[in-house]
Amino acid sequence: MKTNSRRDFLHKLAASAIAMPFFSSYTGFAQPGLLLPKQQNQVLRVALMGLGGYASRVAKAMQSCKRAKITGLISGTPAKLKEWGATYNIPERNRYNYENFDTIKDNPDIDAVYVITPNALHHEHAIRSARAGKHVICEKPMAINAAEGQEMVDACAKAGVKLLVGYRMHFEPNTLEVVRMRQAGELGQIMFFQGLSGFRIGDPNQWRLDKALAGGGALMDIGIYSINGARYMVGEEPVWVTAQETKTDTTKFKEGVDETIQFQLGFPSGAVASCLSTYNMNYLDRFFLNGTKGFAELQPATGYGPTKGRTNKGELSLPHVMHQTLQMDAMAGIILDNDVPTVSVDGQEGLKDLKIIDAIYRACATGTRQHIPA
């Protein structure tokens, strides 16, 4: 599909997502008899939605999974469906486009849909997947704001399916070692976190620089790593935020598309975080955590790996496995066996990040400290 026609197609999808009706809150239990784990032979069967660059990485990583496999494909590009179908041995009956994928409700070969489409489409695609009775794995950010995120959480609860978010770092061994040290008290009282997340973005015409599809700019794409990292590294939920936006290129970074944002978070214990999110600087992928008894540093902290780090006790050098392989095997356990991960990846986790993102944008717009709702 040509670039212009693809962008037109994505814009139409974005418009349909915005037009979707609101969902009321739902607090009931999962519907009995729906997607019983023991009926799935302990292998999670996944349909990938949105066959772009990141989906290619996920698909490659899943070839090494023991508990998850690709059994379906969803794309608006017929040539991709044909190519991917041949590559991953997906029969034509399990290949869908964005107009007909609701019929997956009648397909017993698919347990979950992994939504890897542009940010503004997550809301619609996740809700439609839930209505079809399929578990939902959604790339981050889960939605473009907390209101949409809440509707996704409610829709999945109403349908009796699980909603997980693609937080691959929650399963990375060196990251989890730092979390373990903090939880064990080895770092003492946590006082400070620094998160640096950024790179120089290329093609000015890509969807990530289109507010209608991305929902923002660097903060939605790369800055979310520092937002989420601050939470699991400090081990608390922030209660306030201040933020400042800097924009040097108004041609590439149009209204509503942030180039660089510095933000500061305050936690109930008194710990603070200082973070940077940017699309205009390379070599920014670092987490630093400081406590009264020690420190931990990860650099690179959130790239595709290998993750490297050190603490006051020495180097962190746990073996590297493709992050998405670890993620998908772990998510299979969460969905099929109700496993509880060390760091949550459920819809509520995604919603917490969205509330912080909303507050950061408010802080940039007003120049004042913003309260972060629980």
- Ordered DSSP codes for 37-69: GGGGTT-EEEEEE--SHHHHHHHHHHTT-SSEE
Backbone angles phi, psi at 48, to 5 degrees: -90, 130
Is 143 within the bounds of a domain? Answer: no
Evaluate whether residue 342 is within a structural domain.
Answer: no
Predicted local confidence at residue 22, as pLDDT: 34
- Look up the CATH number of the domain holding residue 355: 3.30.360.10
64 lies in some domain: no
**Does residue 289 contact residue 276 with C-beta atoms inside 8 Å?**
no
Q: Strand 95-96 and strand 112-115: pairing?
A: unpaired
> What distance in Å separates the CA atoms of residue 142 and residue 152, rounded to the nearest whole number?
9
Measure the CA–CA gap between 347 and 80, rounded to whole angstroms: 29
Q: Which runs of consecutive H residues, i.e. helices, occur in 184-260?
A: 211-214, 218, 224-234
CB atoms within 10 A of CB 40: 16
**What pLDDT was estimated at residue 77?**
98
Instruction: Please give the DSSP secondary-structure letter assigned to residue 76.
Output: S
- Does 227 map to a domain? yes
pLDDT score for 10 = 52
Exposure pattern of 145-178 as b/e (b: 16+ CB <10 Å)? bbebbbbbbbbbbbbbbbbbbbbbbbbbebbbbb
pLDDT of the residue at 177: 98
In order along its 374 residues, the chain shows pLDDT tens digits of 444 444 554 555 444 444 443 333 323 333 333 444 444 459 999 999 999 999 999 999 999 999 999 999 999 999 999 999 999 999 999 999 999 999 999 999 999 999 999 999 999 999 999 999 999 999 999 999 999 999 999 999 999 999 999 999 999 999 999 999 999 999 999 999 999 999 999 999 999 999 999 999 999 999 999 999 999 999 999 999 999 999 999 999 999 999 999 999 999 999 999 999 999 999 999 999 999 999 999 999 999 999 999 999 999 989 999 999 999 999 999 999 999 999 999 999 999 999 999 999 999 999 999 999 99
Is 355 inside any structural domain?
A: yes
178 in a structural domain: yes
The pLDDT value given to residue 8: 55
Residue 43 domain flag: no
Among candidate residues 343, 337, 350, 329, the one with its CA nearest the CA of residue 169: 343
Task: Report the domain count for the chain.
Answer: 1
Tell me whether residue 176 is in a domain. yes
Catalytic residues: 140, 225
Domain interval for residue 300: 169-318+347-371
Angle in degrees, CA 236, 239, 243, rounded to 5: 110
For the record, the structure tokens of 134 come out as: 């399929």
Q: With beta carbons less than 8 A apart as the criterion, state whether 119 and 214 touch.
A: yes
